[in-house]
Chain A
Amino acid sequence: MSTPGTHVLSHADQAPGGTVLRSSRGIALRGLRAIVRLPSAFFPAMMMPIFQAIAFSGTFFAITKIPGFPTDRSINWFLPLAAVMGSGFSGVGVGFTTIRDLESGFFDRLRMAPVPRTALVIGPLLAVWVRTLLVLAAVTVVGVLFGARLTGGPMALLTLAAAGLGTATIGAGWSLGLAYRFRDMRAAALMQLGLFNAIFLTNAQAPLNVMTGWLHAVAKVNPFTNILRLGRQGFLGDVTWDGSWGGLVAIAVLTALAWLFAQTGLRRLDA
């Protein structure tokens, strides 16, 4: 009988030295099979952003009437937030999986197998991206059914995907770094709280020009504000370079930092 673990190892065995691509694909497929084998773990990650988009746009429907609010549809404001947040939590999911692997000893078997170290990073990341695209598609479809409009045309989907995939990549690096350091479920709360705070301490709920008080000062310097702006622009007007570059730079810098955090954690694990 083949378990998920033996399946990955057999892929690596077939390729002496284990090519990065083949090993990464094996590890990614293992991560994706978990969606079918353990739907209870993936389903909440899919449902929560959908619920968030609907609940926030319903609860805070009236905030679009505040002078200066950039749209008259609350779903257009909250759908990108829910999509980006759901994507981030899809990324953090890889940290949970890694902790389970570390606790069960499977991760040690992976490290002993002729699998390139890079594949241990690229494989889970590929799985994260596929899961994120599923989340983004589901949230967008439900959002459109609830009245969201793509004011920026098809480019709105592209910038939303960029913001979502970027946040997922950052979330994955952050959570892997914590998983490698803590090696048990104590890290889970930190993974979620870190991302939750980073995204909510932005213009998540209201635009900067509508905010008052301390949050305005924090949101102005929080790079996730730029990432949300990138994802939102196609739902609030046209997609422009002005609305995009800040988010792209924030994704690039935060991705580099998060994955450096993950790499140093992996090295510590190897030491």
Chain B
Amino acid sequence: MSKRSILAIVRQPALVLPSLIFPLFFAALGTSSFGRATALPGFPQVDSFLDFSLAGSVVQGVLFGSVTGGTALATDIELGFFDRLLATPTSRVSILLGRLAGAAAFGAAQALFFTVVLLPFGVSIKAGVAGVAVIVVSGALTAMAIGGFTAAMALRTGSSEAVQGSFPLLFIALFFSSAFFPRQNMDGAYKAVADANPISYLVEGIRGLTIEGFTAANVAKALLVPVGIGVASVALALRALRSRLAAR
């Protein structure tokens, strides 16, 4: 099942290209537009805004890419392929976990892609190769965590349009976090929302590995936040799977 979901991405690259191109475009725009913001009081010590942007690009790409897996599962339901799978002697849970494993593999590839592409433009990762490895694992875990939500939506609604409709929610979750600017430089209600948003801590973990170095706190944030989100989302997806199977 995982192999099938990865092959689907390889065979239809147009589906995932936006999740690879847009984060790079925003990183390039941000570096030129906000380069001077790095001198603002409270802004983390960075060599360039691009160093600061890498974490936001990784999380943005992985979040948007995760919608693809849920949409593909919903399409399987719409086209009847899901029912054909149920007619085979396949473990029911593996249908879901296979899809999530495929999403995780793509998330890891995305994280590596952004890191490798931005390196020649001057990004330096203070945590070194070990830091890159943690960023890649964090990308995989985040993709699985968000993929859990989109899979739950797919299983609940059976509609690819409904899963696509979750895109604005992810957009909101991303923008109301510290993905594009530090929380220290936010103010008022907006800062309060960003403070409460787990995406902020995930981004800051990855960012810490890039601009500070390999510390236990940065690794914990980069890995434990997606694990926490993933536990909740996979539980939701499993519940949605049980409901769908019970309704048959």
Contact = CB atoms under 8 A, between A and B. Distances in A.
Residue of B31, B39, B187, B190 with most partner-chain A CB within 10 A: B190
Interface of A: 44, 47-48, 51, 55-56, 58-63, 65-66, 200-201, 204-206, 210-216
Nearest to A56: B175
B123 to A, nearest CB: 15
Contacts of B31: 213
Contacts of B36: 66, 210, 212
A202 to B, nearest CB: 10
Contact of B33 (A48, A58, A62, A211): A211
A55 B29 contact: no
Interface residues of B, number: 26
Contact of A200 (B29, B43, B187): B29
B33 A205 contact: yes
B185 A215 contact: no
A205 B30 contact: yes
Contacts, number: 71
A58 B186 contact: yes
A206 B168 CA distance: 24
Residue of B36, B39, B180 with most partner-chain A CB within 10 A: B36
Interface in B1-42: 25, 28-37, 39-40, 42
B160 to A, nearest CB: 15
A190 B1 CA distance: 33
A60 B34 contact: yes
Given A47-B168, A61-B181, A215-B32, 4 more contacts: A56-B175, A62-B37, A66-B36, A216-B32
Nearest to B21: A193
A51 B29 contact: no
A77 to B, nearest CB: 11
A211 B187 CA distance: 23
B30 A61 contact: no
B176 A205 contact: no
Given A62-B40, A65-B40, A212 B186 contact: no
Residue of B34, B171, B172 with most partner-chain A CB within 10 A: B34
Contact of A61 (B25, B32, B171, B190): B190
Contact of B35 (A61, A204, A212): A212
B33 A206 contact: yes
B71 to A, nearest CB: 16
A136 B171 CA distance: 22
Given A59-B181, A61-B190, A212 B40 contact: no
Contacts of A56: 175
A211 B33 CA distance: 5
Given A212-B32, A215-B32, A60 B180 contact: yes
Contacts of A201: 29
A118 B104 CA distance: 53
Nearest to B14: A189
A59 B30 contact: no
Contacts of B30: 205
B32 A211 contact: yes
Contacts of B25: 200
B182 to A, nearest CB: 8
27 contacts: A47-B168, A51-B171, A51-B175, A55-B175, A56-B175, A58-B190, A59-B186, A61-B185, A62-B42, A62-B185, A62-B186, A62-B187, A65-B40, A66-B36, A66-B40, A200-B25, A200-B29, A204-B33, A205-B29, A205-B30, A206-B33, A206-B34, A211-B35, A212-B36, A213-B32, A215-B28, A215-B29
A117 to B, nearest CB: 34
A157 to B, nearest CB: 26
Contacts of B40: 62, 65-66
Contacts of A211: 32-33, 35
A141 to B, nearest CB: 19
Nearest to A197: B25
A233 B172 CA distance: 28
A58 to B, nearest CB: 3
Contacts of B29: 200-201, 205, 215
A168 B171 CA distance: 24
A53 to B, nearest CB: 11
Interface string B137-181: 000000000000000000000000000000010011001100011
A201 B28 CA distance: 10
A55 B28 CA distance: 19
A63 B34 contact: yes
Contacts of B181: 59-62
